[in-house]
Amino acid sequence: MQTPSEIPGQNLIQRCVIVQRDDKGYGLTVTGDNPVYVQSVRDVFKKGNNEHVENYRPMSLLSMVSKVMERCLFNSIKDYVIGLISECQHGFIAGRSCVTQLVDVLDYIGAQLDNGGQVDTVYLDMSKAFDKVSHPKLLKRLRDLGFGGRLLNWFESYLRNRLQKVTALGVSSQTLQVTSGVPQGSILGPVLFLLYVNTLPDAVHSAEIATFADDTKIYKTIRSPGGTQRCRKT
């Protein structure tokens, strides 16, 4: 199997044909480095009390050039990346969805109930999951998966050379460096997050698991009075 460094080829950035061939643009093709990204973050209301800041989702407004570069890179590595993602994961992958996750779980539960069994389910939700991704840990995960050379440099610059400011009611905050997380509203953000949490199913033993991005179901057939307690410990 090709590594992700081989899939995009040595001329990944040149193929994108989106950067003028000046000194800065040419530097991208040689080192894999990116210029500093300055992103504006807008708040998107989710639900609940609209006066509570935790009920808003931060969405990054990225430049068109950034999005085109991300799309070029994503198209080059997507087949390799999809092959790495656990079959338990149903989020952000073509052909999988919350519906496919629901069908898998209900099919399992239905089969157990038909046999007179009981199924206990634990629901997990990571708070601020996209914002709490550790850059060093994510880069190590990419390195362990075979990403290297200029491609790994590109991802490192993409994560670490990023500044952001929050804009609300026509007023912008001070611009600060982003020290963790993957940008919501980007093309590569969801892919990087899936790779970051991809080892979660390996930590679950003697139970079934189904995930959709950061939402997780752990479910287990209960066959004895102590089975519920064992399911919780799983």
Report the alpha-carbon distance of residue 9 to residue 90 in Å, rounded: 29
Report the alpha-carbon distance of residue 9 to residue 76 in Å, rounded: 9
Per-residue tokens: 139: 């880069």
Three-state secondary structure call for residue 168: strand
Q: Is the pLDDT of residue 33 over 70?
A: no
State the pLDDT confidence band at 223, using cuts at 50, 70 and 90: confident
pTM: 0.81
Per-residue tokens: 136: 């060093």
Q: What is the pLDDT of residue 60?
A: 83
Is the distance from CB of 215 to CB of 88 less than 8 angstroms?
Answer: no
The per-residue pLDDT of the chain, averaged, comes to 84
Report the alpha-carbon distance of residue 70 to residue 175 in Å, rounded: 23
Q: Classify residue 89 by its DSSP letter.
A: B
Q: What is the pLDDT of residue 224?
A: 80
Q: Is the pLDDT of residue 44 over 80?
A: yes
Q: Is the pLDDT of residue 49 over 60?
A: yes
Q: What is the pLDDT of residue 20?
A: 46
Report the alpha-carbon distance of residue 204 to residue 86 in Å, rounded: 13
Report the alpha-carbon distance of residue 98 to residue 139 in Å, rounded: 28
Is the distance from CB of 72 to CB of 15 less than 8 angstroms?
Answer: yes
Report the alpha-carbon distance of residue 73 to residue 69 in Å, rounded: 6
Strands (E) located in the chain:
37-45, 56-61, 118-125, 162-168, 171-172, 176-177, 208-212, 215-222
Distances (CA, A) of 41 to 25, 67, 73, 148, 183: 26, 15, 23, 30, 9
- pLDDT tens per residue across span 198-212: 999 999 988 999 999
> What mean pLDDT is predicted for residues 115-144?
94
C-alpha dihedral over 158, 159, 164, 168, to 10 degrees?
100
Residue 32 gets the label, from left (phi > 0), alpha (psi -120 to 50) or beta, of left
Report the alpha-carbon distance of residue 15 to residue 61 in Å, rounded: 24
Residue 83 gets the label, from left (phi > 0), alpha (psi -120 to 50) or beta, of alpha
Q: Which residue from 199, 209, 208, 212 is spatially nearest to 89, judged by alpha carbons?
A: 212
Q: Is the pLDDT of residue 37 over 50?
A: yes
> What mean pLDDT is predicted for residues 147-158?
91
Q: Of the given ranges (34-43, 129-138, 185-194), which has the lowest mean pLDDT?
A: 34-43
- pLDDT tens per residue across span 56-106: 888 888 877 788 888 989 999 999 999 999 999 999 999 999 999 999 999
Is 225 or 43 the better-scoring residue by pLDDT? Answer: 43
Q: Is the pLDDT of residue 52 over 90?
A: no
